[in-house]
Homo-oligomer: A and B are copies of this chain.
Amino acid sequence: MGNYVYESVKEEFEQWKGQGLSLNMARGKPSLEQLELSRGLLNVLDFDDCVADGVDARNYGELAGMPCARRYWAELLDITPEQCFVGGNSSLNMMYDLIAKAWSNGLLHSERPWSQEEKVKFLCPVPGYDRHFRVTESFGIELIAVKCGEGGPDMDQVERLAADPQVKGIWCVPKYSNPDGFIYSDEVIRRIAALKPAAPDFAVIWDNAYCVHEIRGDYVPFPDILKLCAQAGNPDLVFEFASTSKITLPGSGMAVMAASVANIQHMSKLMDAQMISCDKLNQLRLVRFLKDKAHTLELMKKHGDVLRPRFDAFLHALEEEIKPLGIARWTNPNGGYFISLYTQPGCAKRTVALCKEAGLVMTGAGAAYPYGNDPDDSHIRIAPSFPALKDVEMAAKVFCTCLKLATLERQGNECEI
């Protein structure tokens, strides 16, 4: 398995430690070079040209968003404007609000608010997005892990679990899944759309976070889940989400919730008690800047050009240093923000802890699992987007050292890997 022995790897590690590094690959955060792509955004709005479709973006009103913003998302997601509720800066917040309203009032087909159910459970394809899981966890909902492979969640398992009326929904990231970067297969998507859950108010949360977020290759079209659900007799099953957070400036984007018109009407009625409108001026600013789908895809190519070398740098180091040792496997996604790496069982937490000691902050090991509990202690999410390229290169080397050291420690300090 190679010539490395514990002592030499340990020395490598101590050398990194001595450098006083401060690197962060914990979150899927765009880099400064990506922010630069939105330089024109801040001045795109003309104060005298803020009325569109008869709606003055500078004043109160229009709960479901600027009509032009609803059209923008409709084109991007291949649906109709009436199916789009355009919100504020965060799709995560909109997902949270959906659960919160299910909790306090119930969804369209709820028999009672979820807070009045004896128990509520939610399906969590793993590895998945920690913040999804935490939303449901914060309501005291029981999280059930479901295996997620190359083509998406294990649908045999999903169908079996959805027969429990206490199971009220599932988290999905259908394109470039967080963190594996998988694209759900047509077959999986078809089975999700055709799901016949016991709960009448089962909600598929379809977080299309990376719908136009290719790193390499051409834009990959995705099926309209709303239509597929309707065709399968499940028109109100799914709530789709997306945002411009990783298209323009994170934290200052616009998010969208897409659903059947009946769902949008039900949710709008509830949201009418919550707010007068979201920030329409920012919606108009973003639509003026992004224009339409074609223009957005051009911009996303540039994001891809910034991201690709960072992914390549990390993957290159893994290929060079780890592959010959056979001590881990990893994904090589065509889009999204993450690489998933699987260590030998019991080595993930230790690897991440060693990284931290050496000045490299990674996403907490296990974060991609419900309650932060990876039963194999094997999964590490790598987010190479934020640091400058030279820092990604260094971080990758630090990571490889730490992974080797953790594996050696696990195997017994004296043995070779």
Contact = CB atoms under 8 A, between A and B. Distances in A.
Interface of A: 27, 29-30, 35, 38-39, 41-43, 45-47, 56-61, 88-90, 92-93, 96, 100, 103-105, 113, 115-116, 131, 134-135, 137-139, 245, 249-252, 270, 273-282
B115 A29 contact: no
A251 B273 contact: no
Nearest to A272: B134
Copies per assembly = 2
Contacts of A134: 273
Nearest to A41: B47
B93 A275 contact: yes
19 contacts: A27-B60, A38-B58, A42-B281, A58-B251, A59-B251, A60-B250, A61-B251, A88-B89, A88-B278, A89-B278, A93-B274, A96-B274, A96-B275, A104-B104, A105-B138, A105-B139, A138-B273, A138-B274, A251-B277
Main DSSP-derived SS at the A contact region: loop
Contact of A92 (B100, B276, B280): B276
Nearest to A135: B273
A92 B30 CA distance: 31
B47 A104 contact: no
Identify which of A27, A113, A282 gathers the most chain B CB atoms within 10 Å of its CB.
A282
B100 A104 contact: yes
Nearest to A101: B100
Nearest to A40: B47
A118 to B, nearest CB: 12
A33 B281 CA distance: 18
B104 A282 contact: no
A226 to B, nearest CB: 25
Given A42-B45, A58-B251, 18 more contacts: A29-B59, A41-B47, A59-B250, A89-B278, A89-B279, A92-B275, A93-B274, A93-B275, A104-B115, A105-B139, A138-B273, A249-B281, A250-B276, A251-B277, A251-B281, A252-B281, A252-B282, A279-B282
A273 B115 contact: no
A249 B281 CA distance: 9
Contact of A113 (B45, B115, B131, B250): B115
A60 B58 CA distance: 25
Contact of A47 (B42, B47, B105): B42
B58 A96 contact: no
Contact of A279 (B46, B47, B88, B104): B88
A275 B276 CA distance: 20
A62 to B, nearest CB: 8
Contacts of A45: 42
A61 B252 CA distance: 11
A270 to B, nearest CB: 7
Given A250-B60, A252-B282, A275 B90 contact: yes
Contacts of A42: 43, 45-47, 281
B35 A274 contact: no
Nearest to A280: B251
A135 to B, nearest CB: 6
A56 B92 CA distance: 20
